[in-house]
Structure 1
């Protein structure tokens, strides 16, 4: 999901490192032997909600997503230069992606959205047929299909396709990176700007293979007026070798591409360039890597682009790029906030180039911290785990305190899961709906104490005094997170046993002293007093004693503004009182 907002941040440092060559003129970015890596993220359904029951395979290691849609793999892979991630679920298109990593590095917070296999049409195999969507028309010849084992098939054909054309964003779903092989087996990278994805099934729902060319006409999403009638090579993805391979030509005819091919599943067209390798080091200029941010590098002045890659946990963007030509790189957040663009000089064919890139990550620095304590106000011992945005973070409790730091770009309010374990690995606290605000610190204070709260609250209004006192009445105090500031919001509340009278007092902050911004309300049969946020001149709440969440608090309060009385606004009513809550 995108926020479509723009943040322009200034370039601080731009350093270049020389090219390095091996004996054969190319230094591999990684030693292809088995290495430790990590991949994690979230799978979403078409509705934007996490998808359960999705099979995720990383380099042959399979797992199934829970209700959270999260997946995570940490372990060895056979080749860090080609780590394959595959995603599949019945009724949806299967997706594969090739990642280039480094030893002991990870790519986190990946997000994939399942696309349903929508039926585009059907026909009888013996007669052939035409399938037309909003962006492509396919003309199948008679008797064009065989079963996956190569045996002949004659019967009903069902063609399934995505509803929308493959665009730049679809690069996150199509398999493979930008590497490809020409018909002459030359290593190249492909600058791509369109494609199709077609699945063909028999009457039993089993996939079929195409053995006769299908003619297609594809509506170009971005019309290039400089090449209105040029012929372009098309590329099909080879699932066995995990690489794009040359599969014919597409003729550009004004707004359309026309051609024929026997490769429909994962097909795209574009310009091929000699292959080089870029290793970009993207940080904030100090020690913070721009992990999980997006990196793109394409040919300067071109309308198309090479595949986007995610920056890994070391701050490195590893990507194969076009050689012998000036490149343009850019960095943006997963929310599509643009950070910087960088020029990259031409890299010789078959070489590796290192370049440092500095971006401002301050707006994305996000912290989750807090304390867990017992009835005696002592910090709990054990560990805390925080799962957020497809990644689980773990830290030991330090006298009850925990802290997590990470980069996050979402402006809207998001939720994570906080779980605290004691030294015997027993869950002593859990919050499945923990609020997180990007670029801010959220503090959380909680008690594992199970003792009931006791207290007394006295409220004076219009010459009458209302008292709430345990055990006959309910008196409580709690801490939550204010969605506007990301800071703690303290709420003192009370209700009588008959539930005919109630009182609430809330204020920002978690320390004793004067509080100049708060809201309070008193309700009883026939009367209601309410002071709302932002509608009044600040009153005063004096906290004389404060310990922590759900434990001990004492103080007084006094309004200095108009209160709504019995549902009608604008009536000036003075409301004051005192409160005391403890364990």
Structure 2
């Protein structure tokens, strides 16, 4: 997270609330090795895919739990009842001309979770001859490649010109949480789950001149140099743990260490993919529920939990029930913040410290009326009977799904402006499979739409 955003927390006093916690077993002893089908749960995931200019990416293929969806014109997607591991639900995104995106979520059973992913463009940062190798300067880093160290899919040697797809993801970037692969958790060399304090992530891919997907010969490792962001150089340790992302488990896994030389880290890597320079720290599991001033859950809300002393962050979104589920730094005073769609912190409070896994009591957050649209609606069929079903609500390009229960549905949108918005309701009656679309104009505040879900 950008230090400018974190510095907002220092502009006014921190609200300190004492919260009682229920102790459980310490989750820091959990390993990522368990991928048994019996451990998996059913949940649903919705979200949005954007490019680096924060414009929606249409037609991206989103995968999770063996199911796929395609993003719409606003970059939105929804996948219901996917079977995933609760501690490591993986959402993958592919789209031509973009590097693959992947995000790891901690999820709840039979809930609806939200995620936002920013895709980075697939473009050659440099080229080199596979036969001769070389020292290649790149934006944010450098590669030292041995001759004849690049292989084709069948592990035969590739001798031609190689395009290097190299992306440095800066943890100080304003949208780091939406660009990073996985999340900020890893499995260390002792098979223990740890939190990760990031000093930078490198995405490294090789492509042949005819579009061939290439990889490294593991017997001929590549020297990888990553420039340390200026604001982190003073706190960067002399030696740092090196992590590669395991797309099978959804976790970062430690692959030794990198050494600091000047204002850069240098490591030897044996594969392409995602590489993370990060300091591990101990974690515990935390669950929290966030309610608005009307005692309703606040869904799909971006939040961060940072350690008070050194600002080590954890990122997430609340689920449909207003719940946060994740891992946070153990034995640390923490600051929980809520972030509106404009990227501004509008609420924070101090919590913790926690030495063991904890579930904290629900707490209330007053939403600002001037920028909040609360929807408290009714949906009936042609016989004026209440509908049981699903509804998608689109406001300002954001689409959120929720249930219609006995004819009633609720949803909350925080907005970046006070002007009237077009609100589009796509409601489905699960008994008849009839879907109707209704659009109306609404100002911020509370609206009570009454929808009719039936054939004209």
CA distance in 1, matches of 2:265, 2:137: 14
What's the secondary structure of 1:15's corresponding residue? coil
Mapped contact 2:338–2:348 kept (Cα < 8 A): yes
Counterpart among 175, 184, 187 of residue 181 in structure 1: 187
Counterpart among 262, 269, 273 of residue 277 in structure 2: 269
Counterpart among 188, 202, 206 of residue 208 in structure 2: 202
Q: Could you list the per-position Cα deviations for residues 88-127 of structure 1 after superposition, in whole angstroms to 9, with x for gaps in the alignment?
A: 112111111111111122213x332322102111111011
Counterpart among 249, 253, 266 of residue 258 in structure 1: 266
1:316 maps to which residue? 323
What's the secondary structure of 2:107's corresponding residue? coil
Q: Could you list the per-position Cα deviations for residues 371-397 of structure 1 after superposition, in whole angstroms to 9, with x for gaps in the alignment?
A: 999xxxx99778695532222346489
Residues 446 and 269 of structure 1: CA distance in aligned 2, closer, same or farther (over 3 Å): closer
Residues 264 and 325 of structure 1: CA distance in aligned 2, closer, same or farther (over 3 Å): farther
1:65 maps to which residue? 71
CA distance in 1, matches of 2:47, 2:177: 17
2:248 maps to which residue? 240
CA shift for structure 1 position 162: 3.7
Mapped contact 2:41–2:84 kept (Cα < 8 A): yes
Bigger drift between 266-275 and 88-97 goes to 266-275
Q: Which residues of structure 1 form unaligned runs of 5+? A: 449-583
Q: Where do 1:277-292 residues align within 5 Å?
A: 277-284=285-292, 287-292=295-300
CA distance in 1, matches of 2:411, 2:297: 12
Counterpart among 222, 231, 235 of residue 223 in structure 1: 231
Q: Where do 1:455-494 residues align within 5 Å?
A: none
Q: Which residues of structure 2 form unaligned runs of 5+? A: none
Mapped contact 2:16–2:351 kept (Cα < 8 A): no
1:440 maps to which residue? 445
Point out which structure has higher relative CO (alpha carbons under 8 A, 6+ apart).
2
Q: Could you list the per-position Cα deviations for residues 455-481 of structure 1 after superposition, in whole angstroms to 9, with x for gaps in the alignment?
A: xxxxxxxxxxxxxxxxxxxxxxxxxxx
CA distance in 2, matches of 1:328, 1:369: 31
Mapped contact 2:160–2:208 kept (Cα < 8 A): yes
CA distance in 1, matches of 2:157, 2:213: 13
TM (norm. structure 2) is 0.79
Q: Where do 1:423-438 residues align within 5 Å?
A: 430-431=438-439, 434-437=440-443
Q: Structure 1 residue 391 and structure 2 residue 400: aligned?
A: yes
1:140 maps to which residue? 145
Mapped contact 2:391–2:404 kept (Cα < 8 A): yes
CA distance in 2, matches of 1:236, 1:114: 19
Mapped contact 1:125–1:143 kept (Cα < 8 A): yes
Residues 435 and 322 of structure 1: CA distance in aligned 2, closer, same or farther (over 3 Å): same
Bigger drift between 211-220 and 10-19 goes to 10-19
CA shift for structure 1 position 368: 4.5
The number of aligned residues is 430
Mapped contact 1:196–1:264 kept (Cα < 8 A): no
Q: Structure 1 residue 97 and structure 2 residue 103: aligned?
A: yes
Residues 144 and 73 of structure 1: CA distance in aligned 2, closer, same or farther (over 3 Å): same
Residues 368 and 185 of structure 1: CA distance in aligned 2, closer, same or farther (over 3 Å): closer
Residues 22 and 87 of structure 1: CA distance in aligned 2, closer, same or farther (over 3 Å): closer
CA shift for structure 1 position 236: 1.1
CA distance in 2, matches of 1:33, 1:88: 27
Q: Could you list the per-position Cα deviations for residues 539-573 of structure 1 after superposition, in whole angstroms to 9, with x for gaps in the alignment?
A: xxxxxxxxxxxxxxxxxxxxxxxxxxxxxxxxxxx
1:330 maps to which residue? 337
Q: Structure 1 residue 161 and structure 2 residue 166: aligned?
A: yes
What's the secondary structure of 1:171's corresponding residue? helix
1:518 maps to which residue? none
Structure exhibiting the larger radius of gyration computed from Cα positions: 1
Q: Where do 1:51-62 residues align within 5 Å?
A: 51-62=57-68
